[in-house]
Each structure stands twice: as C-alpha cells, then as structure tokens.
Homo-oligomer: A and B are copies of this chain.
Amino acid sequence: MSLRRLLYPRSLAIVGASDKVGPGFNAWNALRAVGFEGDVHLVNPKRDSLFGQPCYGALADIPGEIDAAFVAVQAEHVLEIARQAADKGAGGLAILSSGFGEVGTDGAKTQRSLAALAAERGLAVCGPNCLGFLNFSGRTALFGTSLPDQVPRGGVAAVVQSGSVGIALLNSARGIGFSHLITSGNEAVTTAADYIELLADDPAVQVIVVFLEQMRQPRKFVDCVRRARAAGKPVVVLKSGRSAGGQAAVTAHTGAVAGAVEVCDAALRQSGAIQVFSLDSLIETALVFTTLARPLKAKGAAMLSLSGGEIALALDAGEQAGLTLPPVSTARQTLTDLLPAFSHIANPLDLTWAGLYDPTVAQRCARALGEQPDTGLLILLQDAPSGLGPQQASRYATLLSAVADGAAEAAVPLVTLSNISGDLHPSYADMAANKAVLCLRGTQEGIAALAQRLAWDRQALDDTAPAASPETARAAARAALDRMPAGVQVLDEHHGRRILASYGLPGIDEILADTAQEAAGAAQRIGFPVVLKALVAETTHKSELGLVRLMLQSVEEVHEAAAALLERARAVAPVTTPRLLVQEMVTPVAELLVGARIDPEFGPVIVTGGGGVQVELFKDVAIRLAPVTPETAAAMIGETRSGRLLDGWRGRPRGDIAAAAAAVSALSRFLHDFADEVREIEINPLAVLEEGRGCRALDCVLLRSDPSIGRR
C-alpha cells in the first residue's frame, strides 16, 4: 500500500534540501528530531553536499529506490518531480508547495493533473499546500516547519487540514502525547479518510483527532471512523464551516432541513465519531481518551469540591453533556461520619472547609466514593489558577494529593477540573504530575470530554446498512418508474405511491378521476368523508395552491368541490390537463415527514420528523445516511420531539411506530437503490395511525434526476 510507504518510509528524499532556514532545512531537522534511522537522500542541483552528505541534482540521480519524497518547490515543478519519484519507485510524496486548488482556476487545473498522475502511478500524496507530517511512533517525518524543543510522545494521532491548527496543537503545551501529526492540506490525492484507515491499524495510536475544513470522500470517511472505533480507537472530529451559506430554493421540505451541515453532523454521529466544536474541546477530549484508556469500572462519575458554587457550575455543564452522576450509595455512612453535621451528602460532594483543613478527611471521602460500585471515575473540581498566592496554592496541592491517594486506594482514576482555562499554578500542576492525575480545563470542555469517555465503553452504534431490497421489489419499482410519463421531473403523489408500493410502503384507498361526475362516483365507492385533490403536472405544495379539500361528506359536496378544484387547477397551470384524486380520510395519531434525498457529498440520506409546515419551522428532524434498518428508523423517530406524539403524549393513543419505522426504512432503501435516477422523494405527511393500524402516505412527491445536471 503506497500510503503506508509514504508514512512509514525506510528510504526517502528531500527535494529542495538546504542549510538555510526554510522547509528543506526544517525537514532535515525534523528527521533528526524524531530519530529517523533510514536513508535520507538530499536533492538540490545547486549544492554538491549538505550536512556532510552528497547532494543530488535530481531525484533521478539517487541510486536505488526511494519510499517517499519531501517536496517544497514551486508549484510548476511539482508534477515533474512527482513523475521522477514514481520512476524511482516511490510510494508517495509530501508536497508542501502551494499554488494548487487553493489559488483558483489555474491552480485547480494543476491539482487535477497531479491527482491524475498520482492515480496512474499509484502515488500517495500528503498535501499539496500543507506542512507535511510527523510520525513520532514510526520515528520518521516529512515536515517543513520547525519543531518545539519538546513534543511529548504518546497515543494521539492528529490529522488536520490546516497547518496552523497543526502548529497550534503541536505547541499547545497541554500535555498531549503525539504519535502522528499529519497536515493533509488540499488532499488532492490522499484524504483524511485514508489516513484514518491506516492509523486505525497502528498499535501506537490510541486516539485519532481530526480537524476538517471540508470532508472529502465522505462515505469512506464514515466507514473509516467506524473501523477505527471497532478497533477501540475513538475519532474526535472538529469540523469547521458551519456558518450558513445561502440555501438554494427547494421543491420539497427535505432539502431545507437536511442541508450540508445537518447531513455532515448526522454522518459523524452515525460513524461513532466524537464531534467537538472548539480546539479547546478537541484537546480536552484527546487528553481524556489517552489518559483514561482502559475500560472504567462503571459509567458514572463521583465529583468532589470545596465549593457549592463550583458544584453548581459543574452540574449545569454535566446536564448539558449528559454526564452520569449516580447518587451516593455505599459511601453514605462513611461520608456522614467524616464530614460536619450540617453537610449535604450528595454527588457532587461538597467537602466543605473540613476537607481543605484536614487532608485525611478529603482522602477518606475520595476513597469511599471511589469504592462505590457505580463510580468509574473521580473528579476533583478545583480552580488553581497561576495567580494564587503560595499559601493557597500549597493548600490546594495538598488537597489534590490527598484526593489522589484516596482514589489510588479505591483503584479508580482521578481527574481534576478547573473552571478557568489558563495555566495552573505550578505547585498544583506539579502535584498532579507527581500523582499522575490528569488536569482538565474549562467547565464545559472538561465535563463534555469526561461524559464522552464514560459513555464510550458501553456505547452502541446504529446498525450498519440493512440487507439489500428483494430483487422483486427492485424490479417492480423499476417497472413502475418506466411506466411513468417521460420528460416529467416531478412525479405526483399518485404516481409516487405506485412506485413506493413496490417497496411495501403503505398507500391509501384512492381513485383517479377526470371529471366532477367521476369524482363523486369514486367518493361513493370509497366511503365518506373523503379528501379531494387536484393533480397538476410538475407542481408540489398543493395545499398552498388551494388544490386540496378535506372532509367532504356527501356526493353533492364532492361534486361542487371537484368543479371548483378543476377550475382552480386550470388557473394555476393553464396548459396542462388537471386530474382529480379522491382519497379515504384517515385520523392519524400524528403526521410525520419522511424524506430521502441525494446529498451532493454523502449521497442518499433519509430524514424523518414532524410533518406539515412544522418541519421547516422547527427543523425537528433526525437524519441518517441511507439505507437504514427498521431498528435505526425507529431510533430516528424516537429522537425527534414529534416522535413523542406517537408515544402516548398527554393521553393520546400510541401510534404505530413499527409501521412508521418500516416505512422510513423502505424509503431509505428505495432511494439507495435508485440513486441514479431519483434525486429526492418525500412523503409529507405520513399519517401514523393507532398502534397496530399502520400508516398511510397521504402525500408524496418524487423528483427525478435531471441528467443534464452533473452529480457525483
């Protein structure tokens, strides 16, 4: 695999080697810093030798094969060097040069040429427009920027699209131990997904942290995160670019509620990635997952503090993050005996000043809490900012030491959390280091990271994709699609339902009619009350156009309404011939929207949530990459607030959630199967009846793909 040869090379070349400060110079130093023991060949046509080694005029002049090359030359020379590297049998290149996709049309053209060459010659490429990578655990590097004096080594592999963010992480002085830092730049060839795939298999890697500006190969990204997770390696993702761009006009609701940001969030969640929203959070989360790497005894935490105020702040953050704080159980008597009579024995526990002035009290409280069967972790809430006077700093350090001893006696890990994110007082930080206690910073950031960690050991992911749809269903839908009127992009509900019926989606009792007379007859056959709709080609949003009449009770009413609707339809679309649709009227427990669409990045996605106009007003939807199993579909319904309406909300009867979930799953499979010719399909509303009575697609819009618009 060429990427493995790029990231773990035994023989490499620095093109643009130099002894003057700059990328070529830094690259040489980086190799020294990480302790590279393989062969390094230097290429610089202007020098005979450098660093006591011979210098070659070109890659081609190097004797033998190379695994990888470092390239920091002007963009116009990059392709030629890549060709030479391929000729030398290289697996890949780290290309720092800018002047590619990031600089507009010309650069994008060069980038496409590079990608084509790499594909043809089987080259992996880190970059272009990056800083290269550091592989600490593999003791190798193709990295073009100076390193800090000390980088702690450890289990965190970072993949970042921004070099600046990489430098910030590398120099953060927050105690992160790195196994890798890969700046992936424009990802012309090799993407974050490719790196994750490789890192998931590296035993030196415990946690993978990722900073993305744009997710490339998004389906593969999701798959690779799942794979890393299956290998026990959390992937922490900070994805920027959440600001709203202009949203294009949409024909159905699904597009309005499942835009780029929402679909990406859903995909990350589905992949089991831990999504964070700031660099601070990314750091705290990486620290938590590397430091608390082994399974915890239980999924709950016990907190200790000297301060009701700090406890109140932590409780707020804990509720937001879903931190599990089990009530005091086996420790109650011990704590009652240890603390003053007025103390409130609870989790979090206020040690009061008794805990500060008598360290043995703190130690024994910590031990008792730690020994509870549902305590997986102890948290000491304590601010110890660097401005503290020596007296206070030393008291807090003593407290920390005592709590750490108690935690050690109970054999549970301890972390200490400060609300203020600045550096800690050295006395406190040194004590934490002595006792091997992780120091977290920032109430929300620290608590959220811990909540993720506590849930991790026991977290289940969505099922993976369901079994393929039966061939009969596909064939029937295929046939129905083929029978549809040619040249029509927007299929009406009647046609849509006929197609979906092939996938087992429940239709409704309905009859097409062309005249008021026919409609009245149809209504009699269906039974009153009925719903009457006028169908107009290429038209959605019938209600808003006044093309729907509900609750018609008699032949006369149907006749009169039909005449009115036909007239209205002709006014809306003068050149087409409207038809009438007569339908049974049902009384649902609740109405859902069920939509599926082709996302430009992720392909088919499935959406469900509250139906009607509410969907866009409240954006109360659950989103997944399609297809989904009925079990995942039921979980989706349960995630929405509208789903509560089906669950016996305020005395309502329970709705047929199983039938609704089956419909969601079926729609997801349909779009997945016909992704090439259908770009969006939406049932709004899906009427969910009482438990055991199924559901009905009351309306349906199917948008066929426009072959003239290019899609992925």
Interface residues of chain A, those whose CB is within 8 Å of chain B, are 21, 99, 102-104, 107, 145-150, 160-165, 167-168, 170-174, 211, 213, 238, 240-244, 277-280, 283, 305-310, 312-313, 315-319, 341-342, 383, 385-389, 391-392, 418-423, 441-444, 541, 544, 551, 553, 613-614, 616-618, 620, 641-642, 644-645, 649-652
Contacts and interface: CB of A to CB of B under 8 A. Distances in A.
A269 B616 CA distance: 27
Contacts of A318: 243
B651 A544 contact: yes
Given A162-B310, A240-B312, 13 more contacts: A148-B389, A150-B387, A165-B307, A171-B389, A240-B316, A243-B316, A278-B444, A279-B420, A421-B421, A442-B442, A544-B650, A614-B614, A618-B620
Nearest to A183: B309
Contacts of A277: 316, 444
Contacts of A651: 544
Contact of A313 (B167, B174, B240, B391): B240
Contacts of A305: 164
Contacts of A280: 419-421, 442-443
Contacts of A172: 385, 387, 420, 422
Contact of A423 (B383, B388, B422): B422
Which one of A165, A277, A441, A641 has the highest number of Cβ atoms from chain B below 10 Å of its Cβ?
Answer: A165
Give how many copies assemble into the complex.
Answer: 2
A389 B149 contact: yes
Contacts of A342: 99, 102-104, 107
A174 B420 contact: yes
Given A164-B307, A309-B160, A309-B211, A387 B613 contact: no
A164 B309 contact: yes
16 contacts: A99-B342, A102-B308, A148-B387, A165-B419, A167-B388, A172-B420, A174-B385, A174-B422, A279-B443, A421-B421, A423-B423, A442-B442, A544-B651, A544-B652, A617-B642, A618-B618
B240 A147 contact: no
Nearest to A445: B421
A277 B238 CA distance: 21
Nearest to A166: B309
Nearest to A352: B98
A553 B552 CA distance: 12
A173 B418 CA distance: 14
Contacts of A386: 171, 173, 423
Nearest to A21: B391
A149 to B, nearest CB: 6
A420 B313 CA distance: 21
A231 to B, nearest CB: 27
A284 to B, nearest CB: 10
Given A148-B387, A316-B241, A342-B104, A309 B173 contact: no
